[in-house]
Structure formats: structure tokens, C-alpha cells
Amino acid sequence: MRILVAITEVATPDDTIEFSDKSIIESNFTYGLNEWDEYAIEEAIQISESDSDSDSDVISVTIAPPRAEKTIRMALAKGVTKAIRVWDPKLELLPFLDPQLKAKIIAKVVSIVSPDIILTGVQSSNDCWGSTGVALAAEVGFNWATLVTDLELSGDVAHVRRELENGIDELAEVTLPAVFTIQTGINEPRYASLRGIKQAQQKELEVLSFSDLSSDPDEFQSKINFIEFSLPISNSAIQFFEGNPNEQAAQIATIIKDLGFGGG
Amino acid sequence: MSPILIIAEHRQGVLNTDTFGLLNAGIEFAITLNTEAHVAIIGQNSDNLAQDVNIAGIHKIHTLSTSLPYTHNVYVKAISFLFNKIQPSSILSLHTSTGADYSPAVASILNLPFLPDAIAINYTNQVEILHEMYSSKLHAKIASSLPAIITIRPGAWPNDTTPGNAPIEPIDLDITEEPINFKVKNYEETPIGDVDISTSDLLLSVGRGIGEETNLELIFSTAEAMGATVSSSRPIVDAGWLPKDRQVGQSGTKISPTIYLAIGISGAVQHIAGIKNSKVIISINKDPKAPIFGVSDYGVVGDLFEILPFLIEEFS
Ligand SMILES: Cc1cc2nc3c(=O)[nH]c(=O)nc-3n(C[C@H](O)[C@H](O)[C@H](O)COP(=O)(O)OP(=O)(O)OC[C@H]3O[C@@H](n4cnc5c(N)ncnc54)[C@H](O)[C@@H]3O)c2cc1C
Ligand SMILES: Nc1ncnc2c1ncn2[C@@H]1O[C@H](COP(=O)(O)O)[C@@H](O)[C@H]1O
């Protein structure tokens, strides 16, 4: 069994996000693996570990500049067999990648890797499209199941639990090959062992550009035009309690007691 | 210009009430474009649900009835068919577990631009949407040519409506074939355990800011002192620290207490989706830019570990 897992590096802003006309200023960012992709990687590794086929492997794909290699190595340290990173100078000009463009690029990697199943996260915490997995499935003609919180394979069928709204789960069967978008909580992501971290340095991290993926690099065009970034309008109705922690606690308690709780 | 096509959302015979916000978004957009707003209801029970979406501002309702339950395959087929039939200016769906399950595929298959999770829609010489990024800390205005496939944030448009009298046009569509590649077996509801957070009037809700499982002691002590029920954000449940029935939010429980006290919760959209009906929201967070403050009535910017001990004292 060959599993492709799409993983992305995300930036967590410390506080306020700064941006210019065309890009986000990333100086005060800390980078890491997208939370949902932690779970997708763990699921991929668990599937490959329980696969009786000893050739079973997990390949990761990431569209990102060289900066992301540290994050990708963490995935390799956890047990991903081989990593692919796609980048192209053309992408430097974009403020972000839209889900259709991501899907188009990853689809090319799918045709090289020929996976049986593809895992993605439900969403990226930076772009928040929540859409790349389904766009990818449609692009490569695979079946798909979103919001997966349990995944069992038997032969060419996957039994999935999908988490819908309001505490309702859907149980469904999907025929492989398929894309699964993995929801948090599906498993307990492992930490990389020291041995894993050492081994990761030796593992292959292949770098591909648009010309490696297509004879027509112009096909990687976005249909989306970026206009501008802005900051959310702040809530003028909120009252902040000032003072030291003791005074702040007293003000909270007053509100709670005034509304008839806490024996006030 | 050709009409705006709105895809109503329903499952197991029940209309998702956020559909009304979606209808309002579609009507508003149609007015901007000086065109009509049409609704499509696809799948089981669509004939029964047609009157529910018959609100003022809607010009036509297309029902595409099938005996098949919702699957994305059924929707992709039905929407592609309807697209070719009425050539709409854009297609609008909710950005939910349903809408986000088929819309990206519809866009790919029809080779149209896809604009996900809009909190505002505008039209100049192209369609523009506002999309939240970086956990709601940044807004991006993005645009595309028409027609576009757009999903909208549930709750971002008002739900109020007045009855209308749009004609209902059944469309005979042959999608009766068994969807062999995706079969729904069953639905299951999270069982309610020892507490039902949806009926509690005072909720003390804990998020990832608590850091470690052992620190939950502090939360339970505080809750006990003030007589509150403990609930949480999703990561606390994902980590197995609290059972699923304590999770507040889109995929957890929607709550409507008198007081919702959010401790170390950032206020992700999926969390906020569950707390909007709270009367008073009080938040403690060390990040002054945390989106939870955007929906709170009272806020404390500070460290929960410094504040909660004093709060316990206040009630002792
Ligand atoms: C389809 C889908 C459905 C989802 N459904 C839900 C749902 O139902 N419910 C839900 O909650 N989430 C849901 N999520 C997840 C959601 O996107 C967020 O990941 C989650 O809500 C974040 O939880 P949090 O606020 O506890 O954690 P974080 O976002 O990590 O926030 C932690 C906060 O704690 C603050 N903090 C840290 N230390 C301290 C301290 N010492 N004192 C004070 N503050 C501190 C930080 O400033 C930060 O704001 C869903 C996501 C998806 C994609
Ligand atoms: N730049 C990227 N490279 C590889 N995979 C990605 C990238 N961006 C998103 N993904 C995958 O798509 C999922 C959903 O992301 P999004 O649609 O951007 O919210 C993520 O959890 C990843 O699995």
C-alpha cells in the first residue's frame, strides 16, 4: 500500500499580523506543522504499520519554500518514508495559494507517486480554505470522504466515520482509491524519537519545480485574484477589566453574582 | 445577467436553518447584479422542503428529487446538470460539512473559480469575497470572474425572512443509479453523559490555554466554587482530557447559557458557532488580539493561572 499525505507548514502569528500591499510580513511568526496534518501523518503511519505488505510506504508532499524543510524533516522523523517539496519562483509572487491551485500542483505529484490512498488535513490554520482535499480528489478522479474521525481499510473499501455538525457522525463506505480529509482527534499523534530524528537526516527529500511536474508550467495559474489584506474590525461593545489579577477577578465575580449566580 | 443559484442545505428530511442566511446572501448578491435569485433543493424530500425556502426575494425554486440520500456524488451531478441548464452567474452554498464536501468538486468539474467561506460578498467588475485567515486574525479580500462557486460562512448573514411566492419548478433528473463508490451506512449522535451542557445556565469553558491535563484541577475547583458546569473547546476533547459531550462548538454542542466564561480559548469560528446564543460572554485570554474578544461582553487580558485563584476566593 502506498499512502500520500499532503502536509503544510503554517505560521502562527505571535500577536498582530503585519502585512504590506501584496504579502504578509512574516518576521514575528513561528512556523510548524499544520495541526490537522499532524493527525494525517499519524494516520498514514499507522495504516502503513498495520499493512501486511512490507513494501508499504508513506510519502509526504508539501508546496512550500525551502524554509519548510525543517518542518518536513519532523514528518520524516515520525516515520514518513520519503518527502517531496514543490516550489517554483512563480509562487513567490502570490500572497497565498488557493485550494484549486494547490490541488492542481499536488495532482501532478499524485500521477508520479501513484498512491492507493491520499490523506490531507481538514484545513490549514493559515489559509483556512478547508477545501484542498476535495479539490484534489476531483482533480485526480478519486473518491473522497471529508472530516474523517475513524478510518478502517478492508480490501479496496474504507469504512469511515465522518464528523458532521451538532454532534452527529456519519458512517460511510468509500471505494479506493480515495482521498480522506483527516479531522483532529482521530488518533494520538506520536512524537519523533531521537532515533527517528537521526534517521530523518538520511531520508530523501526531493525538490520539484513546475517544469519537473509539467511540460506546460503555465497550466499552474490561479483563477483567484488577490485584492487586499485587512485586519478584522475590533469589537467596540466589549468592556475590558483592568487592574491586577485580584481586581480583575473581583470584577468578573461581580458580573456573575449580579446575574444571580454563585450565591451572590 | 443570468440568475444566482443558491443550493439549499438539508439532511435526513430537515432543512439546515443556516440556509436562510445563505438565501439572504444570495438575494443580496442577486440585487447587486440586478438579476434573479433561484434556489435548488436536491435529493430526498426536496418537494416537501420547497415551501420552506419560498421567501421574499427568491424568484424560482428548482426541485431535483431523488430517492437517494445526500452524498457528494448526487450533489455534484445534480448541480452540474442545473448549471448547464440555467447557466447561473454564480452558485452559492453554505461552508458546512455538506457544502464544503461538494463545492470544491463542483468548481473543479465545471472548471470555475472557487471562493471558499465568504463572510462578505461584493461585486465591482468581478465578484469579491472576504475570507478569514490565520484563525480569524487576518481578512483577505479575494476575487474572481463570474460565474464562480462560492461557499458562505454559516451565520454570517441574518436568518430573518418573510414568506414569498416564487414558482416551484420540478426538474426530472435521472440520478437514480446506486452511488457505488460512496455509501452512507448510518448516522450516530454523540450520547449525552453525566452532564448536559446545553441545559446549563453557567458554563465555565476551558481551552488549550490550560496547557496540561493536571491543570484541569484549577478549572474544576473554580467551577465548583461558583456553581458552574465545565465545558471545553475541541482540543481538550481531542486530547482525551474531557468527554466529547463537553465540547462546545460547530461539531460539538451549541449552548445558550446566561453566562459563558471562556478560559484560554482563542475563539476559532467553529467554536464561536456554538456560543452565539449565550446571553453574556466573559473571556480570559493572554492574547489581546484573540478573536474570542470579538464576541465577548467582558474581557480580561491576562494569565488564567493568575486570575482563577482569585476568582475561587471571590466565591469562597
Ligand atoms: C470542521 C471543524 C470543526 C470544528 N469544531 C470545533 C468545535 O466544535 N469546537 C471547538 O472548540 N473547536 C472546533 N474546531 C477547532 C477549531 O478550529 C480550533 O482549533 C479550536 O477551537 C481551538 O481551541 P482553543 O481555543 O482551545 O485552542 P487555541 O486556538 O490553541 O487557543 C488557546 C488560547 O489560549 C490562550 N492562552 C494560552 N495560555 C494562556 C494563559 N496562561 N492564560 C490565558 N490564556 C492563555 C492563547 O492566547 C490562545 O488564544 C473545529 C475545526 C474544524 C475544522
Ligand atoms: N501548501 C500545501 N502543501 C501541501 N499540502 C497542503 C498545502 N496546503 C494545504 N495542504 C493540505 O490541504 C489540507 C487543507 O488545507 P486548506 O484547504 O488550505 O485549508 C491541509 O491540511 C493539507 O493536508
Give the domain ranges of chain B: 4-170, 197-315
Contact state of A138 with B104 under an 8 Å Cβ cutoff: yes
* Pairing mode, strands A143-154 and A157-163: antiparallel
The residues in A 201-260 lying below 8 A from B, measured between CB atoms, are 223-232, 234-235, 237-241, 245-246, 248-253, 255-256, 259-260
Measured between CA atoms, the residue of chain B closest to residue A133 is B104
**Is some CB atom of chain A closer than 8 A to the CB atom of B52?**
no
Half-sphere CA count of A18, side-chain side, radius 13 A:
6
CA distances from B23 to A224, B79, B197 (A): 24, 17, 31
What fold characterizes domain B197-315?
A: Rossmann fold (3.40.50)
> How many Å lie between the alpha carbon of A97 and the closest alpha carbon of chain B?
12
The three three-digit cell numbers of residue A110, written as one number = 499524485
Return the H-helix or E-strand segment holding A230: strand A225-230
Q: Is residue A21 predicted with pLDDT exceeding 80?
A: no
pLDDT tens digits, one per residue of B249-269: 999 999 999 999 999 999 999
> How many Å lie between the alpha carbon of A141 and the closest alpha carbon of chain B?
10
Half-sphere CA count of B307, side-chain side, radius 13 A:
27
The residues in B 267-296 lying below 8 A from A, measured between CB atoms, are 280, 282, 284, 287-289, 291, 293-296
What fold characterizes domain B4-170?
A: Rossmann fold (3.40.50)
**Cβ-nearest to A240 among B240, B294, B299:** B299
Contact state of B186 with A24 under an 8 Å Cβ cutoff: no
Q: Which residues form the pocket of ligand 1, taking CB atoms under 6 Å from any ligand atom? A: A 122-123, 147; B 207-209, 233-235, 247-252, 264-266, 268, 270-271, 274, 284-287, 290, 303-305
Chain centre to alpha carbon of residue B202: 24
Label residue B176 by pLDDT band (50, 70, 90): low
Residue with cell 414569498: B164
* Element counts in chain B: helices (H) and strands (E): 8, 17
ipTM: 0.96
**Cβ-nearest to B128 among A227, A237, A239:** A227
Other CB atoms within a 10 A radius of the CB of residue A159 amount to 15
Residue A191 is predicted with a pLDDT of 95
Residue B179 is predicted with a pLDDT of 62
pLDDT tens digits, one per residue of A142-197: 999 999 999 999 999 999 999 999 889 999 999 999 999 999 999 999 999 999 99
Which atom of ligand 1 lies at the shortest distance from residue B248's CA?
Answer: 9
A interface test, pick of B124, B128, B218, B311 with most A CB neighbours within 10 Å: B311
Label residue A4 by pLDDT band (50, 70, 90): very high
* Pairing mode, strands B259-263 and B202-206: parallel
Question: B180 and A175 in contact (C-beta within 8 Å)?
Answer: yes
Return the H-helix or E-strand segment holding B214: none
CATH superfamily of the domain spanning A2-219: HUPs (3.40.50.620)
Chain centre to alpha carbon of residue A51: 24
User: What pTM, to 2 d.p., does this model score?
Assistant: 0.96
Q: Which residues contact B169 (CB under 8 A, 6 or more apart)?
A: B60, B61, B62, B63
Residue with cell 445577467: B1
> Residue B132 is which amino acid?
E
Q: Comparing B164 with B12, which gets the higher pLDDT? A: B164
Domains B4-170 and B197-315 share a fold: yes
- CB contacts < 8 A (A, B): 264
pLDDT tens digits, one per residue of B19-54: 999 999 999 999 999 999 999 999 988 889 999 999
Q: What's the CA gap between A108 and A113, in Å, rounded?
A: 9
Mean pLDDT computed over B297-311: 98
The three three-digit cell numbers of residue A126, written as one number = 493559515
- The SS3 of residue B256 is coil
Tell me which chain A residues have a C-beta less than 8 angstroms from the C-beta of B307. 245, 248-249, 252
Q: Which residues contact B172 (CB under 8 A, 6 or more apart)?
A: none
Contact state of A227 with B143 under an 8 Å Cβ cutoff: yes
Nearest listed ligand to the Cα of residue B272: 1
Label residue B178 by pLDDT band (50, 70, 90): low
Contact state of A100 with B113 under an 8 Å Cβ cutoff: yes
Half-sphere CA count of B303, side-chain side, radius 13 A:
5
Burial of B217 (0-12, 13-18, 19+ CB in 10 A): exposed
Q: Comparing B37 with A217, which gets the higher pLDDT? A: B37
The three three-digit cell numbers of residue A48, written as one number = 502503513
